[in-house]
Amino acid sequence: MHISSSRLPLRRTCPTRSRGHLSRSGGRARAGLSAVALAVAVATGVAACGGSSGGGSSTGSTGSTGGTGSTTKADSSLLGPAKAATDTPVKIGWVSTGRTQAVDTSGEIRAAQAVVDYANAHLGGLRGHKIELVTCEDKSVPANAQACGNQFLREKVAAVGAGSPGQTDPWLKIVAPAGIPVGMNLVATQATLTTKNVFIWGNPLASFGTPAAFARDKKLTSAAVFVIDVPAASDPAKQLVPPFFANAGAKAEVIAIPPGTADMTPQVQTAQKNKPAMYHVIGDPTFCASAIKAIKALGITAPITALDRCIGADHGASIPGGFAGVDIIAQANVDPSTPEFKLFNAVIGAYGKNLKIDSISMSGYQGMLSLVRGVNSVPGTDVSSAAIATALHTMPPTTYALGGGADFQCNGKANSISPNICSTTGFIADADKQGTLTNFRSLDTTGIFKLGAS
């Protein structure tokens, strides 16, 4: 049984930090973090902001589905024995973009709540305390995000969790000084990378680092990278792609193409003059389809890599041959044969209340379950903000939700670019014509995620 990610909609959250500059006063370390802060725009899919919406809606539902396009029945026995939370409630804040005119990420909140219900029934909640989720939607508006921070102070939450919210800094600047720890799945702004007691469970740099590792693995010495030309995407691509590929022993040319460009033949022809050994595509489904279509139309046989967000609701129908032969960079391992996906399917089936299984619900699931697992991995019953932060700093290697068995650890040593990043996870998978993903695998990224002199 294979799982199709062709219905996973693009994350369309729009941070206000659309353009950044490297600081000369802070040296290489500060410059590196400034560049990385921009990278989240692409890593979490906001490249679509200012472009076409592309992704469409998901049609999969839970309970009888094992993922988008799969028919695996959820196995409730995987939830484990009952272990109800019986101690006093602990409030955990949760921020999501929510529903706006441009995007609907309300499934992220519902997935987080499903994890809370699962944890309260089977994991003893948070250190024995029943979790109460305090939710807030930023609507991709800074003022709303600031209001979320004030709400969390009023509600006296012990910690704040998130998947990949569109706005982070406004509420972070409110909760962090109050000593409230923050855990997020895939977010990286200058503030989140440097603020004390912020924990980023996944690896927001995988969108750039994994294709570079692919080049090294295949002994490819050059690459052409097509990126949608909105500042939040093209600026970080220009700053991060060349050094990451250089660390892999390859030279990369970044080509920014305006959103809505239907025929990218001229851009591909220009890139082909340098005879790149591979192509990498960063954008929304419509952008990616145009790029891949042009590459194939010119008879180019060089390997193509693309983000999982490139796979839209049309199943690659507009691309000759579809996604067959394209290597997909993925943030979650959704192979239905893995224990982590089976558990995800069981949790969403039992507590998701017909929640769609897509990239949005996966982000909420990963964000909330990682917080619960991280805190619970350290013995104790204290759920004060200080105790939660200490537990996360001292946690042992712990299984990352939907990580294909990969671990995360928040001791500040997982990723050399920022101590707040807790893992180096990132996967590559094969795709068939309609975007069904198989053969998920991790690549060696040793030495890839470095900026400047080591």
**Is 354 contained in some domain?**
yes
Q: What is the pLDDT of residue 28?
A: 40
CA neighbor of 356 nearest in space, from 54, 69, 23? 69
- Are 262 and 362 contained in the same domain? no
Q: Where is pLDDT greater, at 9 or 134?
A: 134
pLDDT digits (tens, 9 = 90+) for 414-432: 888 889 999 988 889 999 9
105-123 residue pLDDT tens: 889 999 999 999 999 999 9
Output Rg (C-alpha) for the chain, integer angstroms. 21
Q: Are residues 314 and 210 in the same domain?
A: yes
68 in any annotated domain: no
Q: Which residue has the higher pLDDT, 256 or 75?
A: 256
Q: Identify which of 393, 332, 30 has the alpha carbon closest to the alpha carbon of residue 193.
A: 30
Mean pLDDT score of the chain, rounded to an integer? 84
Q: Would you say residue 263 lies in a domain?
A: yes
pLDDT of 394: 98
Mean predicted confidence (pLDDT) in 282-296: 94
Whether 159 and 236 share a structural domain:
no
Using a 10 angstrom Cβ sphere, with 0-12 exposed, 13-18 middle and 19 or more buried, the burial of residue 297 is middle
User: What pTM value is reported for the model?
Assistant: 0.79
Q: DSSP letters of 236-292? A: HHHHHHHHHHHHTT-EEEEEEE-TT-S--HHHHHHHHTT--S-EEEES-HHHHHHHH
Coil, helix or strand for 257?
A: strand
Same domain, 191 and 210: no
Please tell me the predicted confidence (pLDDT) of residue 166.
78
Distances (CA, A) of 87 to 84, 121, 130, 385, 395: 9, 13, 6, 16, 22
Q: Which domain, by its residues, includes 437?
A: 3-50+205-330+430-441
- The SS3 call for residue 199 is strand
In a domain, 224, yes or no: yes
| Partners of 136 in beta bridges | 95
- Whether residue 450 is contained in a domain is answered as no
- Residues above pLDDT 90, as percent of the chain: 59
Does the pLDDT at position 172 exceed 90? yes
What domain count does the chain have? 2
Residue 86 lies in a domain: yes
Same domain, 372 and 292: no
Per residue in 21-70, pLDDT tens?
333 334 444 444 444 444 444 444 443 333 333 333 333 333 323 334 34
pLDDT (0 to 100) of residue 233? 72
Flag whether 382 is in a domain: yes
Structure confidence at residue 72 (pLDDT) = 58
